[in-house]
Each structure stands twice: as C-alpha cells, then as structure tokens.
Amino acid sequence: MLIAKYKPRTFNEILGNPNCVAYAQSCVRLRDIPNSLFYGPPGIGKTLTADIMVETLYGEDAKGYCYRSYNAADLSKKDVTEQLEKFGQYSLEAFAEREEGLKMNFPFPPFKTVIVDECEKISSPVETLLRTKIQDSYDWLRFILICNDINHPAITGPILSRLTILQFLPLTSQEMRQGLSNIVQKEGINITPQQFNQIIWKHSGDLRGAIMELQLYV
C-alpha cells in the first residue's frame, strides 16, 4: 500500500505544519517531552509527528519498553490504574543492561512516554483517572494526547489545563501537490492532470486520504 510505503520516517520527510514539527524536534533535542495535546483534522500528520518524536528520542526498537501507544476507545480504567503504573516505574537502565543489540538511544531520558490517540473516544471515568495520572506522574511518565476536535465534550477543561496544546493545520495545496507528485513519479502512476487536481481538491489538506485515493490509480 502506498500509505505505508511512503510513510515518513524522519522529521525532514514530514510535509506541512513546520511549527509543530519544530516543536517535536526541540523536544528531542532537549530530551524533554511536556505533556501535550496535538489536535487538528484527520490525515495531516498528528500521530505521525508523535511517533517520529518518540522513535527518534528513544530508538526504533524501544516501543513497548520506553513508549506505548493506545487508542482512547480501547483504554480501560485498569490500563490507567495498573498497566501504566507498572510501565512507568520499572528501570530503563536495568532493561538496557539485559537487552543487547537493540537499536535504542542511550542514555534514556528519565521518563517514558504514552501516546493516546483519538481522544474523542475516551470514556469519562478513564478521562478522570488519566488527568490525575498526568498530574501526578510527571517525573517518570509523559503523555501525548491526540484528537481531531479539541471542542469535543470528552476533551474537558481540566485535562486541557494540564497539557501543552499544539494545533495542526490541513496541508496547503502546494504541500499536497509535492507529496502526491513524488509518489506519482516514483511509482509511474498513469493519472491525468485533471484527476490529479481533483484528488487534491477533494481531500482539502488531508494527505493521508489523498494517498489512499491515489492507490486506486496504481
């Protein structure tokens, strides 16, 4: 699938939202991730930026050990009260001594990171526990929450007050054209200028959706 084949792997490959990407790069450079909320329409790089941030900070083999990702719809009270507590407390240094040959960036920062995607789907009891965890666990656990709609009722004022908020914007037509043209050229896709422009217009800044439609022309 084109969407997987052309998924950016580094900050430099991300199209659009240069201020948000610069923020993520700064977090990696300073080895510090504030508790954050990334919000904006689908398909514009929110989760991608968060993933590249933690992969760059900890190393490509660190998922599950130094950082974890959850979909808010699947996040239970038990996950927050038990799994995240256990995940955050065990020693990264001890793990590093046991596991040789993994591509992990040493030394680690003194905290682990949890990404929670699609936060509009979070339940009220879990949201209450999560904001307490965000407040009380800063020394050893950091959170990146991701949503499309910051005004959704599930995204409450008390949890927003605990987060650094970044707004991601739809990609410009020029950025969309750049991303799609690269794929068309490399794949040798037979598509007319009219069809190409129609995809850009139809998806209005959603590069992921545009690439998925471009797949139909392969």
Which residue from 187, 197, 183, 145 is spatially nearest to 166, judged by alpha carbons? 145
pLDDT tens, N- to C-terminus, the chain (218 residues) = 999 999 999 999 999 999 999 999 999 999 999 999 999 999 999 999 999 999 999 988 888 888 999 999 999 999 888 888 888 766 555 555 555 666 777 777 889 999 999 999 999 999 999 999 999 989 889 999 999 999 999 999 999 999 999 999 999 999 999 999 999 999 999 999 999 999 999 999 999 999 999 999 98
Measured distance CA(163)–CA(38) in Å, rounded: 10
pLDDT reported for residue 109 = 86
Q: Can you count the helices (H) and strands (E) in the chain? A: 11, 5
Q: How many CB atoms lie within 10 A of CB 97?
A: 9
Which helix (H) or strand (E) is 55 found in, with range? helix 46-58
Tell me the domain boundaries of the chain. Answer: 17-167, 173-217
Cα 95 to chain center, whole Å? 25
pLDDT of residue 2: 96
**Please, what's the b/e burial string for 144-182 (b: 16 or more CB within 10 A of its CB; e: otherwise)?**
bbbbbeeeeebbeeebeebbeebebebbeeebbbebbee
State the maximum Cα–Cα separation within the chain, in Å, rounded to a whole number.
58
DSSP 3-state of 59: coil
Beta bridge partners of 71: 117
**SS3 state of residue 75:** coil
Could you name the CATH architecture of 17-167?
Answer: 3-Layer(aba) Sandwich (3.40)
